[in-house]
Amino acid sequence: MNRIFIQLFAIFVLILSACGNRESTTEAGATLTPDPCNSENINASVKPIHDLQREFDDASLLASTVAREQLPALISDMQRIRRESEDQSVPSCLATLKTHQLAHMKIVIDTMLAFVSGADASTLNNGVAQAGHEHDLYTLEMARLLGVTIVPETNPSTPSVTQSP
């Protein structure tokens, strides 16, 4: 009788341990890292990139309002932001966004350095136009990723954003 009881107990323990393994598999499956490119996660994935872009835009706006002698310190800050952007790893779905971000930042910094060095108006105007173009491409890519449509108002320099259907 004890022998049957021990065998039944052993079988019971094996069954319980098998069930326990299934539960841990389910738990492991539930803790998998979510896809950063999934439409449910893309906002969170884009945020760190866009936070640095906003910081850079603020710094470059400030730089456009100060005297030439004050620009080197601001350019240094913009270079710091650009390096942080370069060092930021992003999922493949955000590679184009990052490419436009870094191109924009490089052109702005190069144009500011050219201004400090006394470049001619044509060089500066060309740099401003190129930087604006890259920023526009960044904005369009951001809108595409987030599923929004950019609708220009009557003044094309101030676009508005609307949600796509």
**Residue 152 reports pLDDT greater than 80:** no
Q: What was the pLDDT predicted at 53?
A: 96
Mean pLDDT on 5-25 = 49
- SS3 of 87-100: the string is HCCCCHHHHHHHHH
* Dist CA 149 CA 135 (whole Å): 16
Q: What was the pLDDT predicted at 2?
A: 53
Q: What was the pLDDT predicted at 165?
A: 46
Mean pLDDT on 5-27 = 49
Phi, psi of 35, rounded to the nearest 5 degrees: -70, 115
Pair of tokens at residue 5: 């009881």
CB neighbour burial string for 121-130, b if at least 16 within 10 angstroms, e if fewer: eeeeeebeeb
Q: What was the pLDDT predicted at 15?
A: 55
Please provide the average confidence, as pLDDT, over all residues in the chain: 82
47-90, pLDDT tens digit by residue? 999 999 999 999 999 999 999 899 999 999 999 999 999 999 99
Mean pLDDT on 38-45 = 88
Q: What was the pLDDT predicted at 10?
A: 52
CA-wise closest residue to 49 among 120, 8, 103, 101: 101
Mean pLDDT on 107-133 = 94
**Residue 5 reports pLDDT greater than 70:** no
